[in-house]
Amino acid sequence: MTGKFIVFDGLDGTGKSTFIKMLAEHLQDKGCKVSITAEPTKNKWGLLIREILSGVQKASQQEMAALFLADRIAHNEEIDELLQQGYIVLCDRYYYSSFAYQSDDETLSWIMDMNLNCPGIRVPDLCLLFDSEPELCLKRIKAGRSGQQLEIFENLKSLNAIREKFSKIEEMLNKSGRGENIVRIDSSPPLDEVFEVILNTVNSFLN
């Protein structure tokens, strides 16, 4: 039986990583085979991306977009194997983040084109797009870092701009006719309320 590929995406600080773990445990309790993965990955491209995000190395937007593409192509090979084995693959970030984080007005169409038209990159079966006010996101980020240095996009100005781009990208993809299945999740309410919405959405999709 072929598995399902579910992406969790959206702003930093919206709770994606927490909700992925909660959903994985729930599905495993129901007897499903579940695999959690994330982008950037831990392969050679992903490790280089993480160094750039932390400020250790520098790269242009175009270089970052190309690195994410290479990382994503390799990642899809792993995802395909898991799906063929019947796993529900839960992925923290996917090409939606590339469109929102690595693009500007001049490069968005190029970044979307090279991802959406790449034969080695699949369309997710479901994308849960998490959204919260940037002020709340930044508060959560700082609380979870315990004094650690923030990444280059983790500031209020960047978060506001990226939130607007996520909204624009969601609208564009929903109108694209590609079969994107994007569901926006408001992650501002208490944890249990948000998770109930996630469960209802995922159960409806899987059934």
Q: What mean pLDDT is predicted for residues 184-197?
A: 96
Helix (H, G, I), strand (E, B), or coil: what is residue 97? helix
d(CA 15, CA 139): 12
The residue whose two tokens read 């072929």 is: 2
Closest CA to 87 of 37, 136, 134: 37
Question: pTM for the whole thing?
Answer: 0.91
Question: Residue 39 is encoded by which pair of tokens?
Answer: 């982008």
- C-alpha distances (whole Å) from 203 to each of 26, 27, 136, 160, 169 are 11, 10, 28, 31, 25
The pLDDT score that the predictor gives to residue 166 is 96
Which residue range(s) make up the domain with 28? 4-206
The pLDDT score that the predictor gives to residue 48 is 94
Helix (H, G, I), strand (E, B), or coil: what is residue 182? strand
Q: Which CATH number is 83's domain given?
A: 3.40.50.300
The packing angle between helices 108-116 and 156-174, to 10°, is: 50
Report DSSP letters for 120-151, one per residue: TSPPPSEEEEEE--HHHHHHHHHHHHTTPPPP
pLDDT at residue 154 is higher than 80: no
As for how many domains the chain has, the answer is 1
pLDDT tens-digit readout, 93-134: 999 999 998 888 899 999 999 999 999 999 999 999 999 998
Above pLDDT 70, what percent of the chain?
94
